[in-house]
Structure 1
Amino acid sequence: MPDTKHPYPNNPYSRRKDEHIALATRFTGNGNGLTDVHFVHQSIPTVAATQVDLSTHFLGRQFPTPLYINAMTGGSAKGKEINGQLAQIAGRFHLPMAVGSLSAALSIPALTDSFTIVREKNPDGFILANIGADKSPAEARRAVALLAADALQIHVNTVQETVMPEGHVATDWLTHIAAIVQESAVPVVVKEVGFGMSQETLLQLAAVGVTTVDISGRGGTNFAAIENARRPGHTYDYLADWGLTTAQSLLESQSFQKKGTVLASGGITNPLDVLTALRLGAAGVGVAGFLLRSLMHVGLNGTSDLVSTWLDQLPALFALVNARDITELRRQPLWWEPEMSNYAQQRHLSLP
């Protein structure tokens, strides 16, 4: 039984976060679009898995693998437990890890330990703080300081805020983002929450100094459906398929990639998804909902074994397409399902 003296059970924010955790296991996307992108099979091997270098560079740091644990939770007793488990996995495999939104913790000190557990469990890890685009540079600094964070995620979530009963969409987000980027002492990444990013959005972000984005496409945790389930009357059910898939967003990001760094997330459920996202230009690939569901079903040890399997299989997949590293991977030929080719044509996008 939960300790009723603990601040979490009587806190509206904590109840909402626990609802998000429970609903995230039910509401996921109908495909991230990456299965519509195919490598052209090569029958003659020229690269062995032992020759593959998985390392990559983003947010000012070199990482041994392209995987990272993306923002999920915090702000409740259950969120603290999950964050602690994820931090242990991140530490074991040297994966960057982002926490869920720290917005409430900035005003409710009792919630902070559900986030700081990440630094406690992984004291030397690369940790990203996370705040909304409505926050000030001062609040951003507080969020970073709270975790001794190495980088900062600013999430943009217009669809979620539209559907969420407590939500609010303001038109000054870009101004806030610009101010935070200008004043931040740590690298900043602007992240969607599962609805993808368009070329127009990326141009807006680049214009105010953003150099790293997480396109977080449709196909993973569906916050339109989650918030709609929390809304009396479920009046926004028609927005369940809103947004751009992860694959579409990576196509939209091709111009941005020429000067900036793109991270990919949204419905990543296997190593082939990782390989394909890297081929389309991602410098790193984030996993969130899939890990959350794994923790719920097989616990910490089972989820840790799952990550280990992915990292064991990735070099074999690189070798399968005759790529020694990410640079060579991006030269390998692809073929596209008609739906993706049609999308690129309509949007006047080049297929990489």
Structure 2
Amino acid sequence: MDLSRHAHRKDEHLSLAEKFYQPIAASQFDQLRFVHQSLPEMARADVDLQTQLGSLTLPVPLMIEAMTGGSPRTGQVNAQLGRLAAATGMAVASGSQSIALQDSSTVKTFTPLRENNPDGLVFANIGAGHTVAQAQAAVSMLAADALEIHVNSAQEIVMPEGDRTFQWLAGIGETVAALDVPVIVKEVGFGMAHETLTQLAEAGVQIVDLGGRGGTNFVQIENFRRPAKELSYLDGWGQSTVESLFEAQQVPQLQVIATGGVRQPLDAAKALALGAQVVGSAGQILHSLIKTDEATTQAMLLSWQEGLRDIMTLLGCTNLAALREKHLLLSAELLAYCQQRGLTY
């Protein structure tokens, strides 16, 4: 693809992500309920939000998920995201660096993530199908603490200029074995099934980002870019974030990042209770940056951390291990999904 068209596509993705933003997500967190405990027998100050992701220690189990990069406009957004990460203590992931591996002039649109967050956790990001050398180059570009490898077959199928060949597993295994930073395999919004998760675990993957349906919908985005817009029947493709969390429980050796339609701290608490080590958000953060400003978005992210402390206090949980012991009530729809898939819940 022509590099100028590639950069323009990055701007299109940013605009269309906001165009299709939905304040009420279809991630199914609303179909889960905690059981209230009237006697927490603890102080709110006792809550410890620290979590572990591979060899990395995160002060809070929330992260700013992969969004953008590759054009001057997206470089400005990455500077904002870097500052937000530094101010909130949250890890931040880069958008796909594939364009920067082809065109060195775009590197400067990604590096603001690290320049504005020199001491925080930054995750690099490339698509599946890149070589080990390219993966290492992406990590080096950001002095990254981990690498996300995104898998996006549904997006590519709908993307007018997308790939049509998907043979990724062997290369993912080679990259995991070769890199000295944690490697995270990330879906981009269509969720993961336990069959896929088992394949990844057998290839040596230890951390996955479930990227469930309910957040930014790349079928909608890419179909909008098609002249005839004829693939709208795929709008609901994939597993929701909550369904993906139940799928991941069947492969307990994997650590999980839950993303896709996280709109509030209660969503994050439910994802953590279902086994996630970290919960990420992209669309809600981008929406806040576009509709308000950086200071308001920073206040929102800090309020999420405080909200998570409130919820854990109400449940009598001093840490995330205790939160994962809490049983959630499922809607009839979720129960039916788990039963048909043969999943424990």
Q: TM-score of the superposition, structure 2-length normalised?
A: 0.97
Distance 2:85 2:334 in 1: 34
**Do residues 26 (structure 1) and 19 (structure 2) align?**
yes
2:150 to 139, 155, 160: 155
**Residue correspondence of structure 1 range 101-250 to structure 2 within 5 A:** 101-250=96-245
**Do residues 328 (structure 1) and 335 (structure 2) align?**
no
Contact 1:59-1:188 at 8 Å conserved across structures: no
2:264 to 264, 267, 270: 270
How far the C-alpha of 1:126 sits from its partner, in A, is 0.9
How far the C-alpha of 1:47 sits from its partner, in A, is 2.5
Gaps spanning 5+ residues in structure 2: where? Answer: none
Contact 2:152-2:188 at 8 Å conserved across structures: yes
- The corresponding residue for 2:89 is 94
How far the C-alpha of 1:183 sits from its partner, in A, is 0.8
Distance 1:307 1:50 in 2: 19
1:85 to 80, 87, 104: 80
Distance 1:255 1:337 in 2: 20
Distance 2:42 2:260 in 1: 29
How far the C-alpha of 1:300 sits from its partner, in A, is 0.6
Distance 1:327 1:344 in 2: 23
- The corresponding residue for 1:11 is 4
**Do residues 299 (structure 1) and 308 (structure 2) align?**
no
Whichever residue aligns with residue 217 of structure 1, its letter is G
Q: May I ask how many residue pairs the two structures share in their alignment?
A: 341
Contact 2:250-2:344 at 8 Å conserved across structures: no
Q: Report which stretch shifted further, 182-191 or 168-177.
A: 168-177
- The corresponding residue for 1:3 is none
- The corresponding residue for 1:61 is 56
Distance 1:55 1:245 in 2: 26
How far the C-alpha of 1:94 sits from its partner, in A, is 1.4
Distance 1:54 1:186 in 2: 23
Percent identity of equivalent pairs: 45
Structural RMSD (CA): 1.1
Shift >4 Å, 4+ stretches? none
- The corresponding residue for 1:311 is 305
How far the C-alpha of 1:255 sits from its partner, in A, is 2.2
Q: TM-score of the superposition, structure 1-length normalised?
A: 0.95
